[in-house]
Amino acid sequence: MLGVVRADQKASSVTAFFAETTFENMFVVDEEQCLQAEIHHHEWRRLLALGIDDQTCIELLLSSYDEIERKCRTPARVALKSRFPHIEAKYDEPGHRIVHTEIRMPSPTRLDAHGLIMAGGFGRRLGDLTKTTPKPMLDVGGKPIAEHLLDNLVDNGISDIFVSLFFEGDVVTNHFGDGSSFGARVRYLKETTPFGTAGCLSLLPREIKHPLLVVNGDVITTAQFGRLVEFHNAAGYDITVSVRPFPIQMQFGVIDQVDGLISRIREKPKIIHQINVAIYVLSPSVLEHVPAGKVDMPSLIETLIPLGFRVGAFPLIEDWIDVGTLPDLERARIKVEAGHHRHELSIESAKVMVLKETKAAVLCG
């Protein structure tokens, strides 16, 4: 059955399911296929944002669902369901045994948001490839990196898109034009000098009334941009920063101490940091505080936090590659051309892939 996972199987299969499909929900069952919990994508991502690992998320959902509702459910959840396909379960009473699942498809809707692709950088680390071609216009899987991002925005209901330009900007404008052939309205922010990763925000028109999704133009990702905007809205953040875990293996034992007394010795632990993946959502109120000229996004955010702006983290569970070097570019091409090493999802045939990397225990049929 589509979107059903056993509680005694790998909890990582839930994250894999939500990362690789557009479905809004899934179900956790016991050995007899009786319902234990219904998990919504939005709630699962909110739990991960709290720093809770997959297995603990499952345990919390099964043992203290009231607390999960208090932490993660918001009135916006009803609206969130409408944009993405929803899985409905048919039960065989008693015990709420699931005997069948089916898909409820929503009508396509436009998302009240704007997009901004940062495409003004030089990409010098890529050598001759970027001598006359901006890095966002390098070919990956038959089309430029920036086109992958634009298609992602449009597929997620974001069709009003800005593109920042500096180095070889004509290459970008000649490809995208006004955006109409890509199903979008594309406007350009032309920098007269390099403005950094946030300076071009000062060039935006004053008409911006909705959240702005900002993404670096050298990123290859399967991130569901619509999820990010909805997460931002539901959480009530002024700025949302997409993050993903980055483990560092220590070569030495690490000492924990309190007042000079050793409380624990951890031998060569793996320390996990949350890194910034350069995909943001900004509320319109933030744009009023962007100075003219050169400024980088991390610096801008750090100046806004003391002013009371709410800055939240969005855990990115999808694929992400920062194309900064030739090996990164080759890795991105392999990922895209190989279809991310997964079976294609076909909503029409109601089948769901199983990730090779995680061997996700999602039952299909």
**pLDDT tens track for 72-105:** 544 344 344 456 788 888 878 766 788 888 888 7
Domain that holds residue 153: 114-241+274-341
Judge whether 11 and 57 are in contact, CB under 8 Å.
Answer: yes
Residues 319-325, mean pLDDT to the nearest whole number: 88
Q: Is the dihedral of CA 16, 21, 27, 29 positive or negative?
A: negative
Q: Count structural domains, the chain.
A: 2
**247, part of any domain:** no
CB contact burial 173-201 (16+ within 10 A = b; e otherwise) = eebbeebeebebebebbebeeebbbbbbb
Mean pLDDT of 20-44: 83
Contact 321, 220 (CB under 8 A): yes
State the chain's mean pLDDT as an integer. 82
pLDDT value for 99: 81
Pairing of strands 261-266, 362-363: unpaired
Mean pLDDT across 25-35:
83
Alpha-carbon distances of 56 from 15, 48, 50, 61, 166, rounded to whole Å = 13, 10, 11, 8, 46
The answer as to whether 217 is a domain residue is yes
R_g (Cα) of the chain, nearest Å: 22
Q: Rounded CA gap, 281 and 287, in Å? A: 11
Q: Which residue has the higher pLDDT, 31 or 286?
A: 286
For residues 46 and 123, state if they share a domain.
no
Measured CA to CA, the distance from residue 135 to residue 216 in angstroms comes to: 11
Same domain, 10 and 99: yes
Contacts of 203 (CB under 8 A, 6+ apart): 164, 189, 190, 191, 195
CB 219 within 8 A of CB 323: yes
- Distance, in Å, from the CA atom of 207 to the CA atom of 76, rounded to the nearest integer, reads 25
Note whether 119 and 172 are same-domain residues. yes
Residue 238 CA to residue 225 CA, distance in Å, equals 17
Q: Extract the tokens encoding 145.
A: 């990196």
CATH of the domain at 44: 3.10.580
What is the average per-residue pLDDT within 288-307? 93
| In a shared domain, residues 209 and 324 | yes
- Alpha-carbon distances, residue 64 vs 32, 36, 71 (angstroms): 21, 12, 11
Nearest to 315 by CA among 243, 247, 226, 239: 243
Let me know if residue 260 belongs to a domain.
no
Mean local confidence (pLDDT), 193-202: 90
**Assigned domain for 31 exists:** yes
Residue type, 278: A
Q: What are phi and psi of 301, to 5 degrees?
A: -65, -40
Same domain, yes or no: 57 and 92: yes
Task: Give me the pLDDT at residue 82, please.
Answer: 53
Q: What is the pLDDT of residue 108?
A: 67
Reply yes or no on whether the pLDDT at 267 is more than 80. Answer: yes
Give the per-residue pLDDT at 76.
Answer: 40
In a domain, 249, yes or no: no
- Asked, for residue 125, whether it belongs to a domain, the answer is yes
Is the pLDDT score of 351 beyond 50?
no
pTM above 0.75, yes or no: yes
Please give the Cα distance from 217 to 173 (Å, whole number).
14
**Domain shared by 79 and 139, yes or no:** no
DSSP code for 351:
B
Mean pLDDT of the 2-25 span: 82
In this prediction, residues 204-232 reach a mean pLDDT of 91
Closest to 184 in 3D by CA, of 165, 223, 202, 158:
158
Closest CA to 318 of 17, 10, 6: 17
| More reliable by pLDDT, 190 or 63 | 190
pLDDT confidence band for 64 (50 / 70 / 90): low
State yes or no: pLDDT of 340 exceeds 60: no
| CATH code of the domain covering residue 306 | 3.90.550.10
Q: Tell me: the pLDDT tens digits for 114-153?
A: 999 999 877 788 888 888 888 999 999 899 999 999 999 9
Q: What is the mean pLDDT of residues 255-266?
A: 92
Task: Retrieve residue 332's tokens.
Answer: 């991105």
| In-domain check, residue 246 | no
